[in-house]
């Protein structure tokens, strides 16, 4: 035991410049080295949060074990990153990836015959017939699968090669198999086990909490606007996670238009390899950039100083959320993880992501709970104290930007504005339409800051026709007959005939009268709605 500890610490210091190893790192490494000559091996499944030095746990043993170590990564970017790290440490390694010629592959195997001990690859390249045939001729000490949660996440979908890693285990006969992941639910652990391990592995589970990340919710009327506002104010470098490639591109254009001087780029799997590598390099070196990305980016980057992660839309599971938000603050300094939630997300009938449960505004009368505890609970971990979330810090953003102003405007001046004029007024645009009616003197003129009037007008329109949970949903628009200018705003909940009707509804024999009267008023209301009503009061 002593012997191992010594050589572990020396290797860590001499090769990787690490003077202190954490207890769980030593535990995992020691176990690997102890089992090196043992006939009875217990493979390991290591669950440690991002940014806690997972890779050292297999790179140190890789240099100390006698045979070859094969490390499987899901993304090219991760491979490049690891290769650079190894090269810097002066450790010889080879990379087997797509697009290599037979001659290049032969050179790689020649290097393996002459002392190189580390192979970095993807499951697709590893499962190639020629590669498999040549590799199975070597003694494989360790088969390492990094980011192993993708076996469960992508294996059944677009990366079927992940499931065929079972064949790699059979054919390469590695002495030890190690799976590393940052987060894993019971289902993921089951999937990893059935794919890689034929016997019960040892499970090393670290604390998955990232104490330096502060989880925050950003309720908003418009997702895009929220990202613009956050981009202006957040500490950078920042990553914005979007669901679709189109979203990253659209948002990028919007940010370039509205945030002057902030470098912004987008990244997704639809770009060419060269484009992606250039973007990764740009972001790695960037001190104040913003990168809009799909989940394709997340794992590829070992950028330590990302200060803010923003979720434009939430991923489909808590695991993915932790992976993505965990890109922030890998240097251990305080970082923010924002989640943008809209009024539509808050509707009970649209829980498209389970993670929303943690970040949505509370339903009527419910107290809001700590976001950290809620996330950890979903991952099966209990936590007594929170090291920072907007709820515990009392920094919760309760109202949605501009919401109160919209409500005030509609309630005080119903029928007066269509959404274009309302947006001009609230955003403070000195349009002739406002000057003409002296609305420029309105106390709400310019009361909404930071919005683009066009976007605001679109948001107003969307809110009244679609958003089911926003208070405007109780307000209806009237379609003007004839050649009116767009739609008129009016609060149906407040209208006089509703109040009278609700009173009379209590009188049994008044029922028919109400029906008749309501019909009459509705007809009258419709014909009146077509005209411009300037002063309803
Ligand atoms: Zn908290």
Does residue 21 have a cis peptide bond before it, meaning omega lies within 30 degrees of 0?
A: no
Burial of 39 (0-12, 13-18, 19+ CB in 10 A): exposed
**DSSP 3-state of 290:** strand
Distance 389 CA to ligand 1 centre (A): 4
Beta bridge partners of 476: 490
Distance 349 CA to ligand 1 centre (A): 26
Residue 438 backbone dihedrals phi, psi, to 5 degrees: 60, 20
Distance 387 CA to ligand 1 centre (A): 7
Domain residues for the domain of 282 are 213-378
321 and 189 together in one domain: no
How far apart CA 487 and CA 458 sit, in angstroms, is 12
196 and 219 together in one domain: no
Residue position matching structure tokens 């004839």: 482
Distance 388 CA to ligand 1 centre (A): 5
DSSP secondary structure, 218-255, as one string: EEES-HHHHHHHHHHHS-SSEEEE-SSHHHHHHHHHHH
Distance 365 CA to ligand 1 centre (A): 19
How far apart CA 168 and CA 136 sit, in angstroms, is 9
Q: Which two tokens stand for residue 142?
A: 């360790």
Q: Which two tokens stand for residue 152?
A: 């469960």
Task: State the CB neighbour count (10 A cutoff) for residue 158.
Answer: 9
Distance 370 CA to ligand 1 centre (A): 4
Instruction: Quote the number of domains for the chain.
Output: 3
Distance 374 CA to ligand 1 centre (A): 9
Distance 385 CA to ligand 1 centre (A): 7
133 and 193 together in one domain: yes
Band of pLDDT at residue 521, cut at 50, 70 and 90: confident
Distance 373 CA to ligand 1 centre (A): 6
Distance 358 CA to ligand 1 centre (A): 11
411 and 354 together in one domain: no
pTM of the model: 0.67
8 and 105 together in one domain: yes
Q: In this predicted structure, which of 14-23, 170-179, 475-484 has the lowest mean pLDDT?
A: 475-484
pLDDT given at position 477 = 43
pLDDT given at position 536 = 45
- Interval 506-533 mean pLDDT: 62
Distance 37 CA to ligand 1 centre (A): 47
Q: Are strands 488-490 and 476-478 parallel, antiparallel or unpaired?
A: antiparallel
Query: Count H helices, E strands: the chain?
Result: 23, 15
247 and 198 together in one domain: no
Report percent pLDDT > 70 for the chain: 82
Distance 379 CA to ligand 1 centre (A): 16
CATH number for 281 = 3.40.50.300
Distance 319 CA to ligand 1 centre (A): 19
| pLDDT tens for each residue of 86-123 | 888 889 999 999 889 999 999 999 999 998 999 999 99
Burial of 491 (0-12, 13-18, 19+ CB in 10 A): middle
Distance 369 CA to ligand 1 centre (A): 7
How confident is the prediction for the chain on average, in pLDDT?
82
Give 530 or 63, the one with higher predicted confidence.
Answer: 63
| pLDDT tens for each residue of 2-39 | 567 888 888 888 888 888 787 778 888 988 988 888 88
Residue 114: inside a domain: yes
pLDDT given at position 482 = 36
221 and 348 together in one domain: yes
372 and 470 together in one domain: no
Last residue of a domain, one of 378, 395, 423: 378
Say yes or no to pLDDT of 490 above 90: no
**DSSP 3-state of 405:** helix
Distance 213 CA to ligand 1 centre (A): 11
Say yes or no to pLDDT of 65 above 70: yes
pLDDT given at position 350 = 59
How far apart CA 129 and CA 505 sit, in angstroms, is 79
| pLDDT tens for each residue of 251-268 | 999 999 888 889 999 999
- Interval 517-526 mean pLDDT: 74
Q: Which two tokens stand for residue 504?
A: 């009379």
């Amino acid at each position: 035991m002593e012997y191992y500890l010594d050589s572990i610490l020396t290797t860590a210091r001499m090769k990787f410049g690490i003077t202190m190893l954490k207890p769980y790192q030593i535990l995992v490494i020691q176990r690997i080295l102890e089992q090196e000559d043992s006939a009875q091996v217990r493979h390991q499944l290591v669950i440690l949060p991002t940014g806690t030095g997972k890779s050292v746990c297999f790179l140190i043993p890789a240099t100390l074990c006698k045979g070859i170590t094969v490390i499987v990564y899901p993304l090219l970017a991760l491979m490049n990153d690891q290769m650079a790290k190894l090269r810097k440490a002066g450790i010889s390694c080879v990379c087997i990836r797509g697009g290599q010629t037979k001659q290049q592959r032969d050179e790689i195997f020649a290097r393996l015959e002459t002392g190189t001990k580390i192979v970095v690859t993807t499951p697709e390249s590893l499962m190639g017939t020629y590669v498999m045939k040549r590799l199975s001729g070597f003694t494989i000490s360790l088969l390492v699968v990094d980011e192993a949660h993708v076996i469960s996440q992508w294996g059944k979908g677009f990366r079927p090669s992940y499931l065929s890693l079972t064949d790699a285990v059979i054919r390469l006969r590695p002495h030890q198999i190690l799976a590393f992941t940052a987060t894993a639910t019971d289902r993921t652990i089951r999937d990893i086990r059935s794919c890689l391990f034929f016997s019960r592995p040892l499970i090393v589970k670290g604390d998955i909490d990232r104490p330096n990340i502060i989880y925050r919710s950003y309720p908003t009327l418009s997702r895009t606007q929220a990202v613009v506002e956050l981009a202006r104010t957040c500490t950078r470098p920042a990553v914005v996670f979007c669901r679709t490639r189109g979203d990253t591109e659209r948002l990028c254009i919007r940010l370039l238009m509205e945030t002057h001087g902030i470098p912004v780029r987008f990244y997704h799997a639809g770009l060419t390899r060269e484009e992606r590598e250039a973007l990764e390099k740009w972001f790695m070196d960037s001190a104040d950039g913003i990168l809009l990305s799909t989940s394709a980016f997340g794992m590829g980057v070992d950028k330590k100083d990302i200060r803010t992660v923003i979720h434009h839309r939430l991923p489909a599971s808590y695991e993915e959320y932790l992976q993505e938000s965990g890109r922030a603050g890998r240097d251990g300094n305080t970082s923010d993880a924002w989640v943008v939630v809209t009024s539509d997300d808050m509707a009970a009938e649209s829980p498209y992501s389970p993670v929303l449960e943690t970040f949505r505004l509370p339903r009527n009368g419910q107290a809001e709970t700590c976001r950290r505890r809620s996330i950890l609970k979903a991952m099966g971990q209990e936590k007594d104290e929170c090291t920072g979330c907007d709820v515990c810090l009392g920094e919760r953003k309760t109202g949605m930007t501009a919401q109160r102003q919209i409500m005030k405007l509609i309630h005080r001046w119903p029928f007066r504005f269509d959404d274009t004029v309302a947006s001009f007024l609230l955003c403070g645009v000195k349009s002739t339409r406002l000057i003409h009616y002296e609305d420029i003197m309105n106390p709400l003129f310019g009361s909404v800051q930071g919005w683009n009037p066009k976007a605001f007008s679109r948001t107003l329109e969307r809110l009244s026709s679609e958003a089911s949970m926003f208070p405007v949903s109780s307000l209806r628009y009237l379609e003007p007959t004839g050649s009116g200018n767009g739609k008129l705003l009016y609060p149906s909940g407040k209208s006089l005939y509703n109040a009278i009707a609700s009173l009379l509804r209590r009188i049994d024999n008044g029922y028919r009268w109400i029906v008749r009267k309501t019909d009459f008023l509705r007809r009258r209301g419709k014909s009146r709605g077509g005209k411009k009503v300037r002063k309803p009061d």
